[in-house]
């Protein structure tokens, strides 16, 4: 029976709020969506930079974080960058994306995925996402390409626009790995380069392989809200040593190594991760397994709490994959989409910071006229997804 305080609230609002409260307890002040945890060697390593004067664009911590990231992700090479967007921009260039090309990507993503492609002079081409993983849907892409594209001389061409479709960017939404095998098969059939936007999925794996290993090149983000942070930062991952060398060259102003001369052999970018930020990251990666373990525990507690709440599902890792549960996610049933704002308001009013998914890319003014497939699942998901507090410290 509803209590006096429940009068005027809907069943779904009560159910979601009760589930979140049962995991997190009552909140006196706002519980953030995702807080950084800087309680290990962060201060010592940053102080070391200050003490030695190595605070800027080169230094031992930059080399160390590149080594540690490659080892953690089981990938051949990691190149640290100023942020994840810069990493994605360079990934597009490394994939051979050229001005005028189109690049397939989800409409359900953060704006950086589309912006990075625009920086390379190319055009985002939006495709639909799956209900199960929130990642791009391989069969929807296949159907869309059959209706829109053809292979001409080994090149995938959009019959409508005449542009070359060069690549597919797969984004692992909130840390849940997309269906990489199926997506890699689509890329193979249509001669597309696979790029992984793994900004949100450090610590997630697909069929035993860390995300970022299937794409030719991949991007990570260490923004303050991610599973580990460098303040701001990112990295490019690749198993190809030639691409790794080129990534380092392009992100460090394309300077030809010399003891004193400043010679740059192409237009490069100052996308370097400062040593100061890398120092923070070296301390974070030491504690990453522990932070991931606690995030998993929190997700398990949410999963149990939502098991009996009708009309909503807690998003769990896809079969065969392991998610870092970067942002815990609930998805309202389609019949409850009109309750989306009501549930968001109830959670935020109760001090549980909660957010909807991003405005879909094709709904943003600068990307409204881009080519796209049928986006009905992404549209539906955007009206039903809610992220709830996910910091590792909330596990206990
Ligand atoms: C999916 C996705 N791609 C790219 C980025 C860009 O990363 P950054 O903020 O480090 O530039 C982010 C996160 O911010 C992201 O969530």
What is the tens place of the pLDDT at every residue in 35-75?
999 999 999 999 999 999 999 999 999 999 999 999 999 99
What pLDDT does residue 9 have? 83
Task: Work out the number of other CB atoms within 10 angstroms of the CB of residue 60.
Answer: 15
CA 229, CA 84: separation in Å to the nearest integer? 11
Distance 214 CA to ligand 1 centre (A): 19
Ligand 1 centre to CA of 3 (Å) is 42
Q: State the residue for tokens 């590149």.
A: 66
Q: What is the CATH number of domain 4-35+288-359+384-395?
A: 3.90.1150.10
The CA-CA-CA angle for residues 190, 192, 197, to 5°, reads 135
pLDDT at 124 (0 to 100) = 99
* Beta carbon of 201 within 6 Å of any ligand 1 atom: no
Provide the H-helix boundaries in the chain. Answer: 11-24, 42-52, 60-73, 84-94, 111-119, 138-148, 180-190, 241-251, 275-306, 340-349, 376-382
Does pLDDT of 281 surpass 80? Answer: yes
For atom 12 of ligand 1, the residue with the nearest CA is 199
Tell me if 85 CB under 6 Å of ligand 1.
yes
224 alpha carbon to ligand 1 midpoint, in Å?
10
200 within ligand 1 shell (Cβ under 6 A): yes
- Protein residue closest via CA to atom 8 of ligand 1: 84
- Using a 6 Å cutoff on CB, does residue 110 contact ligand 1? yes
Cα-to-centroid distance, 223 and ligand 1 (Å): 7
Tell me: the pLDDT tens digits for 153-190?
999 999 999 999 999 999 999 999 999 999 999 999 99
Please report the pLDDT score of residue 2 as a whole number: 38
Pick the CATH number of 42-285 from 1.20.58.190, 3.30.230.10, 3.40.640.10, 3.20.20.70: 3.40.640.10
pLDDT band of residue 4 (cuts 50, 70, 90) is: very low
Spatial strand order in the sheet of 205-206: 209-210, 205-206, 321-322
Q: Answer yes or no: is the C-beta of 83 below 6 A from any ligand 1 atom.
A: yes
> How far, in Å, CA of 336 to CA of 218, rounded?
36
Residue 234 CA: nearest ligand 1 atom is 10
* Residue 66 CA to ligand 1 centre (angstroms): 18
Q: Which tokens hold the place of 374?
A: 């049928």
Residue 396's pLDDT band, with cuts at 50, 70 and 90, is confident
> How far does the centroid of ligand 1 lie from the alpha carbon of residue 364, in Å?
17
Mean pLDDT computed over every residue of the chain: 97
| The predicted structure's pLDDT at residue 3 | 44
Ligand 1 site, residue 112, Cβ cutoff 6 A: yes
- Mean pLDDT over 78-90 rounds to 98
pLDDT at 7: 54
Q: Using a 6 Å cutoff on CB, does residue 171 contact ligand 1?
A: yes
Q: Which atom of ligand 1 approaches the CA of 116 most closely? A: 4
Q: What is the pLDDT of residues 95-117, one digit of tens each?
A: 999 999 999 999 999 999 999 99
Ligand 1: centre distance to CA 303 (Å): 26
Q: Write out pLDDT tens, residues 355-373.
A: 999 999 999 999 999 999 9
Q: Which of 33, 34, 85 best tests ligand 1's pocket when mutated (most atoms within 8 Å of CB)?
A: 85
Ligand 1 proximity of 84 Cβ (cutoff 6 Å): yes
Per-residue pLDDT tens digits for 225-256 = 999 999 999 999 999 999 999 999 999 999 99
* The pLDDT of residue 154: 96
What's the confidence (pLDDT) of residue 8?
Answer: 65
As annotated, the residues of the chain forming the CATH 3.40.640.10 domain(s) are: 42-285
Pairing relationship of beta strands 193-197 and 312-314 according to DSSP bridges: unpaired
Nearest Cα to Cα of residue 387 among 338, 350, 336, 353? 353
Please give the distance, rounded to the nearest whole angstrom, from the Cα atom of residue 97 to the centre of ligand 1: 19
CA of 52 to the centre of ligand 1 (A): 31
Contact 124, 370 (CB under 8 A): yes
Task: Examine the pLDDT at 90 and tell me if it is beyond 70.
Answer: yes
> 111 C-alpha to center of ligand 1: Å?
8
Work out which ligand 1 atom sits closest to the CA atom of 85.
Answer: 11
Q: Where are the CATH 3.90.1150.10 domain residues in the chain?
A: 4-35+288-359+384-395
């Amino acid at each position: 029976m509803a209590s006096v305080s429940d009068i005027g609230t809907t069943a779904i609002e009560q159910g979601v709020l009760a589930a979140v409260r049962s995991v997190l307890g009552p909140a006196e002040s706002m519980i953030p969506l995702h807080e950084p945890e800087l309680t290990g060697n962060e201060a010592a390593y940053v102080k070391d930079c200050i003490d030695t004067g190595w605070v800027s664009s080169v230094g031992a911590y930059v080399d160390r974080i590149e080594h540690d990231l490659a080892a953690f992700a089981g990938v051949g090479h990691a190149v640290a960058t100023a942020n994840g967007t810069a990493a994605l921009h360079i990934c597009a260039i490394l994939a051979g994306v050229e001005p005028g090309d189109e690049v397939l990507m989800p409409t359900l993503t953060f704006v950086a995925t589309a912006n990075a492609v625009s920086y390379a002079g190319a055009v985002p081409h939006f495709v639909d996402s799956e209900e199960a993983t929130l990642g791009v849907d391989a069969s929807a892409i296949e159907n869309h390409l059959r209706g829109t594209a053809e292979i001409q001389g080994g090149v995938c061409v959009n019959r409508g626009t005449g542009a070359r479709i060069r690549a597919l960017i797969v984004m692992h939404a909130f840390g849940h790995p997309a269906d990489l095998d199926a997506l890699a098969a689509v890329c193979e059939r249509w001669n597309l380069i696979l790029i992984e936007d793994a900004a949100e999925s450090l610590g997630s794996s697909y069929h035993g392989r860390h995300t970022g290993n299937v794409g030719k090149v991949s991007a990570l983000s260490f923004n303050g809200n991610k599973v580990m942070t460098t303040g701001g930062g990112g990295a490019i991952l690749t198993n190809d040593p030639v691409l790794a060398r080129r990534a380092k060259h392009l992100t460090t102003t394309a300077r030809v190594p010399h003891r004193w001369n400043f010679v740059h052999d192409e237009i490069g970018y100052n996308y370097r991760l400062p040593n100061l930020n890398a120092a923070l990251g070296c301390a974070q990666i030491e504690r990453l397994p522990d932070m991931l373990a606690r995030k998993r525990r929190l997700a398990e507690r949410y999963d149990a709490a939502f098991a009996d709440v009708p009309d909503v599902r807690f998003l769990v890792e896809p079969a065969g994959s392991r998610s870092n549960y970067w942002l815990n996610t609930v998805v309202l049933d389609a019949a409850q989409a009109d309750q989306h704002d009501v549930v968001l308001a109830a959670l935020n009013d109760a001090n549980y910071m909660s957010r909807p998914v991003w405005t879909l890319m094709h709904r943003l003014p600068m990307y409204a006229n881009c080519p796209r497939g049928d986006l009905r699942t992404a549209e539906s998901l955007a009206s039903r997804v809610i992220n709830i507090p996910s910091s590792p410290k909330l596990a206990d």
